[in-house]
Chains A and B, each alone.
Chain A
Amino acid sequence: MRKPLSVLLVLLVSVAMVLAACGQGNSGSGSGSSSPAASPSPSPSGSSAPSPSPSESPKIDYPTKAIELIVPFAAGGGTDAVGRATAEALKKELGVDVVVVNKTGGGGAVGMQDGLSAKPDGYTITVVTREVVSLPLLGQAPFQTMDFRFIGNVNRDPAVLVVPTDSPYQTAEALIEAIKNKPGSLKFAASVVPNYYGIQFAEAAGLDFITIPFNGAAPAIVELLGKRADFGIYNPGEVKAQVDGGNLKPLAVMAEERFPGFPDVPTFREIGYDIVSGTYRGLAVPKETPEEIVKILEDALAKAVEDPDLIAFMENSFLGRQYMDSETYTKFIEEDIKILTPIIEIAKQQM
């Protein structure tokens, strides 16, 4: 028994040594274990004045190696597409490789949390979506929304109300009429649970309909096409194929302005209901990241969103483009927290 025992000893000793030596070690990029919040970096974060360093020049050596971009959702989805396209564009601006890593789980919570616990040195950026606001409000995230420092927004997808093309309700008003006449009877095929679009719709217009929950837009759309549901509310990219193919008809968008891909579709405001909703994707870093690095990223992103390849890709995929710089984006997110809080209260009661 001597040999196996010594093997075990070797293992245990190595563990002990490593744990002792790296007591304060922060997990490296890509390891995924949650570690306590990173120790603050020497330069003051959040201050607008450059730190009084001896060299006095604000130019720092960043980036010098590849940057990791965490996408908190699965490959092939909308967020992943935005992330990868943005990574390509950023590569050109920053001159280094921007590598996309998908870290799924928790409806986005795992990836975002990983982004937060990485070293705030600008080499780990996270794609944040509306979930960065909704998950903490739902109590389903181990972080708070404002733990992030938001660099800028890239994509904004409004929600669009659709019906099958041969539906008896050919305008949004007709649909709303019908729902009001038959409360609790018309069916909404929801692509996500809980469905903020649906709740906002119901609240703003005072409607009572049945929500059938599905896992993603595809099965929800099948339900619509098979006439087992009457209407749906999704993002434009999810319905483009169907609208082009003549299977679905968009009735209204929940946005401030008409969506470029659907020029003939009125906004909800135009027909009298103040509903603005949708999802968005932007970039963020932990809030301890030094100001200089954030500025470099912000400038790079501002140029990246003008990249013709990115623009072409977004337009082809019906992904709405709306760039917001860091300050605007941060305010936007604070607004969104206010908007979502009452909606999530309602959603929580349904759970």
Chain B
Amino acid sequence: MKNAGAWMACALMAFALVMGWQALTLRYYTKFGPGSGFMPVWSSVLLFLLSAAYLWESLRRDVIRFRDILPEGKTLWRNVTILLAVLVFILIVPYTGFVAAGIVLLLAVFLFDFKWYAGLALSVTIILIFFYLFRTLLKVPLPVNALGW
């Protein structure tokens, strides 16, 4: 199934199901009116129905294939790398600190367009500028490691 719209609709339906299921554990109605469960349940139901309609629409009329919307080759890899790099950043920042993690992140992105030494130079400069700007000048807390950077 290459139909992107259909996949999204299914994902939304699953989302609605999970949320609706959870919502049922909440109190539905109190003596003053709707309880905490009221809105969640109905919103989930509505979302489910609408997603089903979306699914129908994707299959019958407005077919959008993955191939049409997602990029290919280098561009695809670049985007995947960006996302992965952010994830990596989040994972390693408590240990390596903002500066190191940031350099890794930027380097990963720059490597697609620049040679490694140019990318490295750019990354280091940019991260250091930001670090100085935020930590020192504005005193905005940044995610740092035990050493303080």
Residues of A within 8 A of B (CB): 1, 3-5, 7-8, 10-12, 14-15, 18-19, 22, 25-33, 35, 99, 101, 119, 351
Contact = CB atoms under 8 A, between A and B. Distances in A.
Contact of B93 (A7, A31, A35, A99): A31
Interface string B66-86: 000000011001101100110
Contacts of A15: 88, 91-92
Nearest to A119: B146
A11 B144 contact: no
Contacts of A35: 94
A27 B142 CA distance: 13
Contact of B95 (A25, A32, A99): A25
22 contacts: A1-B73, A3-B74, A4-B77, A5-B77, A7-B111, A14-B88, A14-B104, A15-B92, A18-B92, A19-B92, A22-B95, A27-B146, A28-B145, A28-B148, A29-B146, A29-B148, A30-B142, A30-B143, A31-B93, A31-B94, A101-B141, A351-B27
Interface residues of B, number: 31
B61 interface: no
Given A4-B81, A15-B92, A18-B95, A29 B144 contact: yes
Given A3-B111, A28-B97, A8 B81 contact: yes
Chain B: interface secondary structure?
helix
Contacts of A28: 94, 97, 144-148
A160 B135 CA distance: 41
Interface string B104-135: 10011001100000000000000000000000
Contact of A11 (B27, B94, B108): B108
A303 to B, nearest CB: 26
B96 to A, nearest CB: 6
Closest 10 CB pairs of A and B: A28-B146, A4-B77, A31-B94, A22-B95, A27-B94, A28-B145, A18-B92, A33-B94, A11-B88, A7-B111
A19 B148 CA distance: 18
A15 B85 CA distance: 10
A208 to B, nearest CB: 13
Contacts of B84: 8, 11
